[in-house]
Amino acid sequence: MKMSGNTVLVTGGGSGIGRALAEEFHKRSNQVVISGRRQSALDEVTKANPGMKALTVDMADKQSVAAFAAELTKLAPDLNVVLNNAGIMTPEDILAAPKYVDIAEDTIATNLLGPIRLTAALLPHLLKQKDAAVLTVSSGLAFVPLAMTPTYSATKAAIHSYSLSLRERLKDTPVQVIEIAPPYVQTTLMGERQASDPNAMPLADFIAETMQILTDNPDAKEVIVTRCEPLRYAVEQGNFDAVFTNLNAQQH
């Protein structure tokens, strides 16, 4: 994908990876629209980045996504890049079944149905653009799951699979499909502790490496930073069991 001159939507752009990516695209002469559930968070970002626009949406709600897509194409008629970043990650106590099912359902609605619904709603518009791209955000946990967040890991594995199929079906169109798979990054996705966890990759480092990969490889299908390679390629390297055991042992 081209790195400037786009009109870019970043879902979940009010904080964390979404905000950081939105700000980087904004710096590179792109028109950026961010979305999220909390107006206050969006206002904070747009205030800090003059020219950036924002719309609220509940990615877990089918009607909200449909209304958002319609409003977005009016606000940003030149929209050609959609970055599906919004997501939630909540631990689930499997042994407390069935109490965790509400968490599982919310996670699926936000992390999986949300991007599918939004991409489907915007695809007719994107297909009319000269240079378009759909970027999906999966996770290293799509490839080696974290047992304490089973549904989150499953939704990210599904996003990986969905990205593969979407890319194949759109290969003869102007729409490029790029999957970004973050490792464990210093954000507040699972609370304030994660934001300062020394075991997590600094957010600035992740964003810098991600943008460099996108810049150096305009035809990239996946964006895998070095820190995520042990998870992404565990199966290919024949050490999945060891990586899985080590990852989950750290959580006890």
Q: What percent of the chain has pLDDT over 70?
A: 99
3-state DSSP assignment of residue 10: strand
DSSP-H helix ranges across the chain: 16-27, 39-48, 62-75, 101-108, 114-126, 150-169, 192-195, 203-216, 229-232, 240-249
Whole-prediction pTM value?
0.95
Q: What is the pLDDT of residue 251?
A: 65
Q: Read off φ and ψ for residue 149, nearest 5 degrees.
A: -130, 65
Q: What is the model's pLDDT at position 135?
A: 98
User: What would the pLDDT profile of 183-241 be if each residue is shown by its tens digit?
Assistant: 999 998 988 899 999 999 999 999 999 999 999 999 999 999 999 999 999 999 999 99
Q: Which of 152, 162, 184, 233 is catalytic?
A: 152
Question: What residue segments make up the domains of the chain, in order of their start?
Answer: 7-249
DSSP state of 107: H
pLDDT at 252 over 60: no
54-104 confidence digits (pLDDT tens): 999 999 999 999 999 999 999 999 999 999 999 999 999 999 999 999 999
Residues in the chain: 252
What integer pLDDT is reported at residue 151 of this predicted model?
98
Of the candidates 94, 227, 225, 199, the residue with the CA atom closest to the CA atom of residue 153 = 94
| 233 part of the active site | no
Is 7-249 CATH 3.30.1300.10? no
- Closest to 152 in 3D by CA, of 98, 119, 105: 105
